[in-house]
């Protein structure tokens, strides 16, 4: 049994390699592109949906050729998203040999991490994971969360972010800071 720990990672200075140009690659590109991460996509061809994303985003580089093991050297994270399970496993094995975090889509034993279902809003990000048991359920739960959290939570998160430094600068105890934040949150929820 795997023990997946959810944590948020700043990917702003990372290069992510995605090998593949089909629907599995599209889903990874779609999620990651919401975070303005630099994506290097290697595939001789891509779907129309991926092509549209490449055309509209300046942080996606498409290299039109087959994967080469040397592609791993200049990236931080590797995602094998081809339709060939053996190739995906080879890519992950090569990546692990270079100490790169890697993921082979739909092949948990070849994943150093798994993708949660991600809700990205203006003021916050929520991820839902079923530990690989049911991505469909994770997506369903994410949508329920999205519907239940109105835009006021974006406003609240941004407001709290704006006042955070001034609250930290106050000469009050950690307990008083927590109480202050809780009062602000309760006022917003009324």
Average pLDDT in the 26-44 region? 92
Residue 101 has which token pair?
Answer: 């975090």
Beta bridge pairs of residue 103: 79, 111
Residue 102 has which token pair?
Answer: 């890697």
Per-residue pLDDT reduced to its tens digit, 132-169: 788 899 999 999 999 999 888 999 999 999 999 999 89
Query: What confidence score (pLDDT) does residue 1 get?
Result: 54
Average pLDDT in the 82-110 region? 95
Query: What confidence score (pLDDT) does residue 16 get?
Result: 97
DSSP code at position 74: T
Separation of alpha carbons 108 and 59, rounded Å: 28
Per-residue pLDDT reduced to its tens digit, 39-80: 999 999 999 999 999 988 779 999 999 999 999 999 999 999
Is 190's pLDDT higher than 80? Answer: no
In this prediction, residue 2 has a pLDDT band, given cuts at 50, 70 and 90, of: low
Query: What confidence score (pLDDT) does residue 69 get?
Result: 97
Rounded to a whole number, what is the largest CA-CA distance in the chain?
A: 60
Is 87's pLDDT higher than 90? Answer: yes
Separation of alpha carbons 162 and 122, rounded Å: 14
Average pLDDT in the 10-36 region? 92
Buried/exposed 149-169: b ≥16 CB within 10 Å, e otherwise: eeeebeebbeebeeeeeeeee
Separation of alpha carbons 49 and 23, rounded Å: 9
Query: What confidence score (pLDDT) does residue 5 get?
Result: 82
Residue 97 has which token pair?
Answer: 């040999």
23-33 and 48-56 are packed helices; what angle lies between their axes, rounded to 10 degrees?
Answer: 20
Distance of CA 7 to the CA centre of its chain: 10
Fold held by 15-115: Rossmann fold (3.40.50)
Show me where the domains of the chain are located. 15-115, 152-189
Calculated CA dihedral for residues 12, 18, 23, 24, nearest 10 degrees: -90
């Amino acid at each position: 049994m795997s023990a997946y720990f959810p944590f948020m990672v700043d990917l702003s200075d990372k290069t992510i390699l995605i090998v593949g140009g089909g629907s599995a690659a599209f889903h990874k590109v779609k999620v990651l592109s919401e975070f303005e991460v630099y994506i290097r996509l290697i595939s001789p061809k891509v779907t129309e949906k991926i092509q549209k994303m490449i055309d509209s985003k300046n942080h996606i580089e498409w290299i039109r050729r087959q994967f080469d093991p040397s592609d791993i050297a200049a990236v931080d994270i590797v995602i094998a998203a081809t339709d060939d399970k053996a190739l995906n496993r080879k890519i992950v094995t090569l990546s692990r040999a270079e100490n790169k975090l890697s993921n082979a889509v739909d092949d948990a034993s070849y994943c150093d991490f798994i993708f949660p279902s991600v809700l990205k809003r203006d003021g916050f990000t929520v991820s839902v994971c079923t530990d690989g048991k049911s991505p469909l359920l994770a997506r369903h739960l994410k949508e329920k969360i999205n519907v239940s959290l109105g835009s006021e939570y974006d406003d609240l998160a941004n407001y709290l972010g704006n006042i955070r430094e001034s609250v930290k600068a106050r000469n009050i105890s950690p307990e008083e800071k927590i109480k202050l934040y809780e009062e602000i949150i309760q006022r917003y929820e009324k």
